[in-house]
Structures are given as C-alpha cells and as structure tokens.
C-alpha cells in the first residue's frame, strides 16, 4: 500500500515513511512503518546530537522507564542522526488544543506520570530543561479489551548532566525558571520543577502562568515577578482545590532552595493519593464520532492556545549572555 513512499534503512530495519509528525528546533519527526514487523514508529531526524543526549539515550538502552519515551535504535548516516522511537498518537499540547480543557482527574493522572518521568531523569543525573506540553506525549498501550494511556516525556535534545549544569539560556519562554534567565549560580535540576509547576498551573486554570505578546515580554514578567505576587496569583484561583494550591506554591518558588525537589513532589502526591489508575478507555464504550465532535465543539478553547507556532512556545538554546533588556531592573 505504501510501497511508493520513501524509506529509511538503518542497520536493523527498513522503515516506510508515512507522514510528518512534527518539526521543531532540532529536526523533523516522521511517522513510519517497520517493514519487517509492521510496527508503527516515530523517527526523529537531526543533523547533530549533543553528548549529553547521546549519553542519556545510551544509558536508557535496555532499561525500562515507565514515563520516558522509549528509543528503539539510534542510527547515523551521512551526517544525519535517526532516533527511532515508540510512536505516540498525540502530545499533551495536541490534547489541550482538541479538548480545550483537561479534566481535574486527568490532571492528577498527568501529574503523577510526569512527576515520575522527571524523577527517572533526575535519578539518572540529568536535568531535562524543556518540560512543556509539547514534550509530553500520550502513548497508547493496547491490551485485549482496552487501551491504556501513558503520559511520557520526550525530546532529550536539551538534556544536561547535572555536573555540567551552568547558566545557559535553554528552554521555552513560558516555562523558564527565573534562575535560568538571570545568570544566577543556582541553576540546578530544580528548573524542571518550576517548568512542571507552570504546566500544572496551566492545566488546572487553562491559562499560562506568564503571558505576553512577545518572548521578551514573557521573560521580563518572569524576571520581575515577586514571590508574594506568585503566591497571590495561585491563592486567588477560586476554583482550585487547596491541595493543588499548596503543591503549586511549593513548586513555583523563585528561590530554588525553597522549591521542592522531585522526591518531595512524589511524596506530596502520595500524601494525597486517590485512585489514579484511570485513563482506561474501554473500547466497547467509545462514543461514536458525532458524539465526540459535538462534545468537543461545546468545550471552551483557552484563548492562550493558538494553533500557529509562536516564539514563546519554541525551544531556545543559547550560550550568549542575556541581553541587557532581560536583566532584572534594580
Ligand atoms: N515518539 C513520537 N511519537 C509521536 N510524535 C512525536 C514523537 N516524538 C516527537 N513527536 C512530535 O514531534 C514534535 C517534535 O519532537 P521533539 O522530540 O520534541 O523535537 P524538537 O526538539 O524539535 O522539539 C513533538 O512535539 C511531537 O509533536
Ligand atoms: Mg520538543
């Protein structure tokens, strides 16, 4: 059926290219079919790979990480790297765009899964540095009677060994921790906790924690906000449960020393444990497409989400010192 489509051949398999899944700062991601096994995979093509990503992918080989995207093979040919991964139907970003609002129970489920994914990365001795909805994928695990959704972290292009961490402007404007922007020597794995806090805030309130019409405006807001303003913003969310407010207050601390680390976050989540083994989609109870379309069209679309790419959502990597316009005003 797809015999005319171009193919990618690695040392192990030949893959037929089906379509493009995404295009980002580092390369293109293609949906492909393994000719030998018929398995659908995602292949990321990129012109270079940094040592930390390479090291991390190697460390992950042959081990099982529940909430990190699995890499099947890494292949290099003619200055091009091919990262063959398990395929996911959509990202958390796609899900928010299509559904408008993520249900509170789903948010809990996502918090637990991504908290565990961040712990898996931190326990290996790395910081991800670009936690955001676009880098959280929804993997569908199929059993005989149902499909289980598993949220997994992808995109290890910005990953860094903690021994080598130094101030460097990496990440995506909306989710940047203040110490990532202000040349402080406090830069640590805790930047992932801040970003994760900003993602959770967004899922629970349907609005980004910081917004602005340009990337610089967003960064200025992050640099200029005070802790009491953040606390107030969180506490003023009338529809937000106290337990979520406390969790967010601990994650969105400007001072990284006061910010909870991932072990504390996991502990906090356990402390408020409920049934989180949900997201089992019974195949037989799936509504028909009309019902789905009607349901989706009734849901509000948050105004902060725009289909088109904007720089505030794009990953940036730069070794340059921060422009003067971004320095905190004295
Ligand atoms: N394994 C995968 N399955 C499905 N889609 C993927 C997969 N990996 C990446 N994508 C899609 O491609 C996009 C870009 O991939 P990513 O690894 O985040 O690269 P970039 O560094 O360019 O952001 C993702 O946001 C996602 O939409
Ligand atoms: Mg990405």
Task: Kindly write down the DSSP assignment for every residue of 274-297, as one continuous string.
Answer: ------EEEGGGPPPHHHHHHHHH
**pLDDT value of position 2:** 61
**Residues 282 and 146 sit within 8 Å (Cβ to Cβ):** yes
Out of 243, 268, 293, a domain closes at: 268
Q: Is the residue at 273 inside a domain?
A: no
Q: Is the residue at 117 inside a domain?
A: yes
User: Which numbered atom of ligand 1 lies nearest the CA of 22?
Assistant: 12
Question: Residue 56: which domain range?
Answer: 7-88+279-326
- CA of 137, nearest ligand number: 1
Joined together, the tokens standing for residue 285 give 């109870």
Q: Is the residue at 1 inside a domain?
A: no
Residues 99, 245: one domain? yes
| 311 CA distance to ligand 2 middle (Å) | 13
**pLDDT value of position 122:** 98
Residues 204, 66: one domain? no
- Residue closest via CA to ligand 1's atom 25 equals 134
Give the residue among 157, 252, 169, 179 at the shortest CA–CA distance from 209. Answer: 252
Out of 19, 28, 44, give the residue to mutate to test ligand 1, the one with the largest number of ligand atoms within 8 Å of its CB: 44
DSSP H or E run through 167: none
Q: How many residues are present in the chain?
A: 330
| 223 CA distance to ligand 2 middle (Å) | 24
State pLDDT tens for residues 173-200: 899 999 988 877 778 999 999 999 999 9
For the chain, list residues with pLDDT below 70: 1-2, 167-168, 273-309, 317-330
Q: Is the residue at 11 inside a domain?
A: yes
Cβ burial 185-217 (10 Å sphere, 16+ → b, else e): ebbbbbbbbbbbbbbbbbbbbbebbbebeebee
- Residue closest via CA to ligand 1's atom 13 equals 22
| 91 CA distance to ligand 1 middle (Å) | 8
Out of 29, 33, 137, 151, give the residue to mutate to test ligand 1, the one with the largest number of ligand atoms within 8 Å of its CB: 29
Q: What predicted TM-score, i.e. pTM, was given to this entire model?
A: 0.86
Residues 166, 218: one domain? yes
Work out how many domains the chain is built from and give that number: 2
Out of 137, 175, 311, give the residue to mutate to test ligand 1, the one with the largest number of ligand atoms within 8 Å of its CB: 137
Residues 177, 112: one domain? yes
DSSP state letter for 326: G
Residues 122, 95: one domain? yes
Is 221 annotated as ligand-binding?
no
- Residue closest via CA to ligand 1's atom 1 equals 87
Residues 136, 223: one domain? yes
Ligand 1 pocket at CB < 6 A: 21-22, 24-27, 29, 42, 44, 69, 85, 87-88, 91, 134-135, 137, 154-155, 157, 315
As a whole number of angstroms, the distance between CA 43 and CA 105 comes to 32
Out of 247, 268, 289, a domain closes at: 268
DSSP state letter for 124: T
Ramachandran angles phi, psi of 18, nearest 5°: -100, -55
Q: Is the residue at 249 inside a domain?
A: yes
Residues 229, 288: one domain? no
HEC string of 20-33 equals: EEEECCCEEEEEEE
Q: Is the residue at 321 inside a domain?
A: yes
Residues 200, 60: one domain? no
As a whole number of angstroms, the distance between CA 154 and CA 131 comes to 9
CATH number at residue 230: 1.10.510.10
Out of 246, 268, 290, a domain closes at: 268
Residues 243, 151: one domain? yes
Residues 20, 71: one domain? yes
**pLDDT value of position 69:** 98
**pLDDT value of position 84:** 96
- CA of 25, nearest ligand number: 1
User: Which numbered atom of ligand 1 lies nearest the CA of 155?
Assistant: 17
Residues 209, 188: one domain? yes
Out of 17, 19, 21, give the residue to mutate to test ligand 1, the one with the largest number of ligand atoms within 8 Å of its CB: 21
**Residues 326 and 220 sit within 8 Å (Cβ to Cβ):** yes
How many beta carbons lie within 10 A of that of residue 168, not counting itself?
17
As a whole number of angstroms, the distance between CA 52 and CA 79 comes to 18
Q: Is the residue at 158 inside a domain?
A: yes
Residues 213, 318: one domain? no
| 238 CA distance to ligand 2 middle (Å) | 32
| 29 CA distance to ligand 1 middle (Å) | 6
CATH number at residue 48: 3.30.200.20
Q: Is the residue at 51 inside a domain?
A: yes
């Amino acid at each position: 059926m797809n015999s005319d489509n171009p193919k990618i051949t690695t040392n192990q398999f030949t893959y037929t290219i089906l379509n493009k899944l995404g295009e980002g700062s580092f390369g293109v991601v293609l949906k492909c079919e393994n000719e030998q096994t018929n398995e659908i995979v995602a292949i990321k093509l990129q012109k270079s790979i940094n040592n930390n990503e390479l090291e991390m992918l190697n460390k992950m080989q042959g081990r099982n990480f529940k909430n990190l995207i699995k890499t099947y093979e890494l292949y290099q040919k003619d200055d091009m790297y091919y990262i063959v991964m398990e395929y996911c139907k959509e990202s958390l970003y796609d899900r928010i765009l299509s559904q408008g609002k993520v249900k509170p129970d789903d948010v809990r489920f996502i918090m637990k899964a991504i908290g565990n994914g961040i712990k898996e990365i931190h326990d290996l001795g790395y910081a991800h540095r670009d936690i955001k909805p676009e880098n959280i994928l929804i993997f569908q695990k199929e059993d005989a009677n149902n499909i289980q959704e598993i949220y997994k972290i992808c995109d290890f292009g910005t990953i860094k060994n903690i021994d080598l961490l130094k101030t460097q402007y990496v990440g995506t404007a909306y989710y940047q921790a203040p110490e990532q922007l202000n040349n402080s020597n406090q830069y640590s794995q805790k930047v992932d906790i801040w970003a994760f806090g900003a993602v959770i805030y967004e899922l629970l309130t349907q609005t980004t924690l910081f917004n602005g019409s340009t990337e610089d405006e967003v960064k200025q807001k992050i640099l200029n906000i005070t802790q009491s303003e953040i606390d107030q913003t969180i506490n003023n969310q009338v529809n937000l449960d106290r337990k979520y407010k406390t969790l967010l207050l601990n994650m969105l601390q400007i001072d990284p020393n006061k910010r909870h680390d991932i072990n504390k976050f996991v502990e906090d989540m356990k402390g408020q444990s409920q049934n989180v083994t949900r997201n089992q989609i019974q195949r037989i109870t799936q509504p028909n497409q009309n019902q789905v379309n009607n349901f989706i069209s009734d849901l509000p679309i948050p105004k902060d989400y725009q289909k088109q790419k904007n720089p505030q959502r794009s990953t940036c990597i730069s070794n340059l010192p921060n422009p003067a316009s971004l320095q905190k005003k004295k």
